[in-house]
Structure 1
Amino acid sequence: MRSNGFVARTGSRLELNGEPFRFAGPNVYWLGLDENVEGVAWPTEFRVRDALDTALEMGATVVRSHTLGASQGHPLSIMPEPDRFNEEALRRVDFAVREAGARGLRLIVPFVCNWSYYHGGRSTFAGWRGLEDPRAFYSDPEIKEVFKRYIAMLLTRVNALTGLAYRDDPTILAWELGNELNDAPAEWVKEMAAYIKSLDGNHLVAHGKQFELDRDKLGIEELDILDVHYYPANAEALARDAAETAAAGKVYICGEFGWTEDGLEAFLERAEADGSVSGTLFWSLFPHADDAGYVPHYDGFSLHYPGTGVSGDYERRCLELRSHAFRMSGREVSSCLVPDAPTVASAAERVVFRGVVGAARYTVEKSTRGADGPWTAVFDARPADHDMPWQDPTRAHGTRTWYRVRAIAPDGAAGPWSEPFESEPFTPVS
């Protein structure tokens, strides 16, 4: 169901329809433009849906996504060149926004990035002006006007799939001036926040800094939310920053944190207990691949829920993040989702099936007598991992074989079997 009502601010707290609103969820930075599958490309609809469905299963109510707004300088980005907007890229953003709203998820969307990644950043704007110093992004009058026109285009964009202008869509929780704009002058923050508010009276405006609270921004009237990132997750820093932000009458969120290091449990517990913490968002969630296994990413904080069979600690941390999201939003932790039936795509040398949301393990069975069995196990509750597709070590050459697969949740609940898939006799190439 589409989101109902805009998230609002009352002092240092968030509210939705007059009720307190606290949240937890993932960063899914690639929803508008991906870098992880055969180079830079728009993510497939399957991967977008899979990630959002996984976020829901993890208890999320909010997702933060850089490339729904921070997308400049690449041929596939929203703004490949100054003041030239890519309609197809915008339609991909339209799709992600619609899908998030249909699931009741809220979005935090940055407009630019501090860093020079594949989706561009403040250095992209400086480079267009022939300037080497990325800090010109904050001072050059022409750059500021180009950035304002970019913001205006997004705020007034009418989603081709919903008919709603972004500034009128409650799916968006907040516009973030940029990701980790560590050295943004207070005057620039005030100017840009005021500009957003002049065009969009519905949404909150956020600003963040990497590793520490951006204290000289606490007094900016037009700013609603202060965002801090923690690597590693630090419970004491979280509590200190949240208290200082609340004392200034602003909303505090942790927009990113590393979930792999020691101290995670204390960090999550402190966030849940501290009413000054409005939200936490871990870095970062990745989906199943279009064919089999997961989309890989190697930054040390990539999460494939509910684990990849690497270790029991990995799965435990995934489930801790899930429980945390439910508790942050004041809900009882629900039972794990019973996974859907996978779909087997092929089974020649290897059994190829697309992963399903919530599956920690898969059982693969085979029959050489037909689609009605009898069935014998090839893999019994094998952990989901990057090693997919899986080779059947018991396959006899020249034998017609049927396969079926079912997924198993972390708590052991097994989903339905897939439709049996008939494979042609297999003869290896010598």
Structure 2
Amino acid sequence: MIGSKRWCGVAVFLVLLMAGTHVGIGAESLFRHFVKAKGDCLVDGDQPLRFVSFNIPNLLLIEDDMEFVRTNPWRLPVEYEIEDALRAVVQAGGTVARTYTISVAREDDDPGTPKHVLAPGRFNEEAFRAMDLVLAVANRVGVRLLVPLVDNWKWMGGRPQYAAFRGKSPDDFWTDPQLREDFKKTIAFVLNRVNTVTGVRYRDDKAILAWELGNELQQCPREWAEEMASYIKQLDPNHLVAGGVQTHELHDWELESRVIDLVSTHHYEGDPMRMAANIRAAAERARGKKPYYIGEFGFVSAGGIRYVLDRVVRTPNIAGALIWSLRFHNRDGGFYWHSEPAGNRLYRAYHWPGFESGDAYAERAVLGFLRSAAFAIRGLAPPPVEKPDPPHLLPIPDVGHISWRGSVGAYAYVVERAESPQGPWQVVGRWVDDAAVSYASLFSDESAQIGRKYFYRVRALNEAGISAPSNIEGPVTVAELSFVDEFADLQRVFQMGGQVSLGALGARAFKEDLHRLEMSEGAWVRYWVPGEIREVEIRAFGQTDSLSLELAVSADGQEYGPVPVVQRGFRMNGRDYPYRVPVLVSGRIDRPGCHFLQLKAAGALQLGRVEIRYE
């Protein structure tokens, strides 16, 4: 048994080496077998399959496009984002990831929301083309996927929406013949779909580990589950079917059923001892009967995560564990962000490989424990980290707004500038962290000189070294400079008065703005910049589309004159989250010689970002 584990580890290591080589979309899969159940174990060919990895809720559909002026947070992932997510899994030692569900249109969706199921038997080709990409990349990098077919909850659309299509109640989903047939139409469409990238039917795709009947189908009747599992097996004899009840304990009928191949539980007990006890009890019930995995767990301390993972690795009949959750790099720069409403206003989705912005919930420590466990459960020691690939520098509108597509596994970046694309290159940004801000430009070059033209490039770095340079962008003509305050601290503020404090909790209500300045009525802050102020742009949050925020400028810091402003609100649909109204406040300064800016709150509000453009 020990010898087979060692051989399994060598085989997986070779797969990981192969996965590090980028090949074209649609290339041959790294997988040779469908995953099967053998007793209470999962096997890949004749080798055991065990895993520690991530849930990736945005992998099929992004719910977190929280750029300040966008009012619809939903969009489909692109290849760069998909590859970033799945390569992060590989770097973290994972061989499996869990997606979220096949999404279903809601009657209160914003126009253009790209859900997968639009109506009974009617499907969104664009959304499924994104899923085609997910499966193509999963095959290419060597990550198998657990795919839940329907959600019990309304968030991305699920059981309640299938019922609503027919004017029925959510609980009718289990018993109504028409609703059962509607869901079977989705199952048949998904399993029979031919991937437009690889040409492989989903039912024949080895990157799919198993179809989960759904996500957290807590009241799911046995009769419904067995009917749907039998239907899946009729259409797709290749893949395992996982039960979708997913409470913190297993049910006898899940273990007894002949058409459900593997079982899972979800764990958010808050107490790691209680969590580990429930997991141990579930593993004991499944022992000798069926493969068992932990489909979701989290929202406990770093020490609690480590304790649970240690128990998982040491329990042979636990096939795997998937932490909640991972968010990947954003095509527009930085990461996607997601604060967890059920996480005591503390926990956010993790960003690989861990950053200072996650210190409140020990992100770096947790991801380190996760990586160690992911290799240990496969009988391997973690290999040395490799230096990152070059990032991709995005087009630069001006020197105050420089962003790039980040590199998997990079801790930070170096920004370089030259007056010729041939160099010489000067470092103008050291240790720039692309997880330090959310949904904003990553770097402002305040050392640029007005009237000059510059070229820029970026390098990624981690403990293994620094990457080759990115592509070069430029020339960029410097017409003005930008002073930016993201409120990570108060060190950029020149003066302040009244009740002013930093806030970071409850970020979901503030479009995931990580750091904010809370101002009570009458509070004020002042800034000084070395050049003449020409324009001001402020991201703020309030209860309405108009804020009581007064702007004034001064040449000497003593006498201030008012600045006329334009306010534009970008109200979000608050059906799921209690969003504050994002308001963009902007003003042009025509008075010459002004170096000081004052912001005064005539009512309670929060500031998310201040940008002062000056010459």
TM range (shorter): over 0.9
Q: What are the Cα deviations for residues 266-305 of structure 1, in whole angstroms up to 9, with x where unaligned?
A: 1111111111110111111111111211112222341111
Pick closer, same or farther for the CA change 1:398–1:280 going to 2, 3 Å.
same
Q: What are the Cα deviations for residues 376-413 of structure 1, in whole angstroms up to 9, with x where unaligned?
A: x333223332424211232222233343321112x252
Confirm or deny that 1:107 pairs with 2:145.
yes
Q: What are the Cα deviations for residues 239-286 of structure 1, in whole angstroms up to 9, with x where unaligned?
A: 221121124x01110111116534011111111111111011111111
Partners of 2:242 and 2:365 lie apart in 1 by: 32
Pick closer, same or farther for the CA change 1:207–1:35 going to 2, 3 Å.
same
After TM superposition, give the deviation of residue 330 of structure 1 in Å: 2.9
Asked if the contact 2:83–2:137 (Cα under 8 Å) also holds between the matched residues in 1, the reply is: yes
Confirm or deny that 1:354 pairs with 2:409.
no
Q: What are the Cα deviations for residues 131-171 of structure 1, in whole angstroms up to 9, with x where unaligned?
A: 23x12111111111111121122112222222222111111
Confirm or deny that 1:91 pairs with 2:129.
yes
> Who is 1:266 aligned against?
307
Choose the corresponding residue for 2:251, options 209, 215, 240. Answer: 215
Partners of 2:135 and 2:414 lie apart in 1 by: 35
Pick closer, same or farther for the CA change 1:87–1:400 going to 2, 3 Å.
closer
Residues 148-187 of structure 1 aligned to structure 2 (within 5 Å): 148-187=184-223
Residues 240-259 of structure 1 aligned to structure 2 (within 5 Å): 240-247=281-288, 249-258=289-298
Asked if the contact 1:70–1:110 (Cα under 8 Å) also holds between the matched residues in 2, the reply is: no
Confirm or deny that 1:390 pairs with 2:418.
no
> Who is 1:238 aligned against?
279
Q: Specify every segment of 5 or more residues in structure 2 that has no aligned partner in the other structure, as ranges.
A: 1-27, 341-346, 481-532, 535-615
Asked if the contact 1:361–1:408 (Cα under 8 Å) also holds between the matched residues in 2, the reply is: yes
Pick closer, same or farther for the CA change 1:151–1:396 going to 2, 3 Å.
same
SS of 1:193's equivalent?
helix
Residues 43-192 of structure 1 aligned to structure 2 (within 5 Å): 43-67=77-101, 69-73=102-106, 76-117=114-155, 119-132=156-169, 134-192=170-228
Pick closer, same or farther for the CA change 1:378–1:220 going to 2, 3 Å.
same
After TM superposition, give the deviation of residue 370 of structure 1 in Å: 6.7
After TM superposition, give the deviation of residue 44 of structure 1 in Å: 2.0
Partners of 2:233 and 2:425 lie apart in 1 by: 66
Choose the corresponding residue for 1:399, options 452, 455, 461. Answer: 452
User: Aligned-residue CA RMSD in angstroms?
Assistant: 2.1
Choose the corresponding residue for 1:206, options 242, 246, 250. Answer: 242
Residues 14-53 of structure 1 aligned to structure 2 (within 5 Å): 14-37=42-65, 38=70, 39-53=73-87
Partners of 2:367 and 2:452 lie apart in 1 by: 41
Partners of 1:331 and 1:63 lie apart in 2 by: 19
Asked if the contact 1:209–1:229 (Cα under 8 Å) also holds between the matched residues in 2, the reply is: no
Counterpart residue identity of residue 103, structure 1: V
> Who is 1:332 aligned against?
381
Residues 300-379 of structure 1 aligned to structure 2 (within 5 Å): 300-310=347-357, 313-345=362-394, 346=396, 348-367=399-418, 371-373=422-424, 375=426, 377-379=427-429
Q: What are the Cα deviations for residues 338-382 of structure 1, in whole angstroms up to 9, with x where unaligned?
A: 11112322252232222111111112233457742252x333223
Q: Which moved more, 1:349-358 or 1:258-267?
A: 258-267
SS of 2:180's equivalent?
helix
TM-score by length of structure 2 reads: 0.65
Asked if the contact 1:401–1:425 (Cα under 8 Å) also holds between the matched residues in 2, the reply is: yes
Greater Rg by CA: 2
Partners of 1:105 and 1:23 lie apart in 2 by: 11
Partners of 2:358 and 2:103 lie apart in 1 by: 34
TM-score by length of structure 1 reads: 0.92
Q: What are the Cα deviations for residues 105-128 of structure 1, in whole angstroms up to 9, with x where unaligned?
A: 1111111001001x3110011112
After TM superposition, give the deviation of residue 328 of structure 1 in Å: 2.1
Identity fraction in percent: 34
> Who is 2:264 aligned against?
227
> Who is 2:613 aligned against?
none
Asked if the contact 1:342–1:354 (Cα under 8 Å) also holds between the matched residues in 2, the reply is: yes
Q: Which moved more, 1:11-20 or 1:211-220?
A: 211-220
SS of 1:229's equivalent?
strand
Higher RCO (CA-CA < 8 Å; seq separation 6+): 1
Asked if the contact 1:258–1:283 (Cα under 8 Å) also holds between the matched residues in 2, the reply is: yes
Counterpart residue identity of residue 425, structure 1: T
Counterpart residue identity of residue 218, structure 2: N
Asked if the contact 2:428–2:445 (Cα under 8 Å) also holds between the matched residues in 1, the reply is: yes
Asked if the contact 1:24–1:329 (Cα under 8 Å) also holds between the matched residues in 2, the reply is: no
> Who is 1:6 aligned against?
34
> Who is 2:468 aligned against?
416
Asked if the contact 2:386–2:464 (Cα under 8 Å) also holds between the matched residues in 1, the reply is: no
Pairs aligned (count) = 424
Pick closer, same or farther for the CA change 1:161–1:200 going to 2, 3 Å.
same
Counterpart residue identity of residue 349, structure 1: G
Asked if the contact 2:78–2:130 (Cα under 8 Å) also holds between the matched residues in 1, the reply is: no
After TM superposition, give the deviation of residue 4 of structure 1 in Å: 1.3
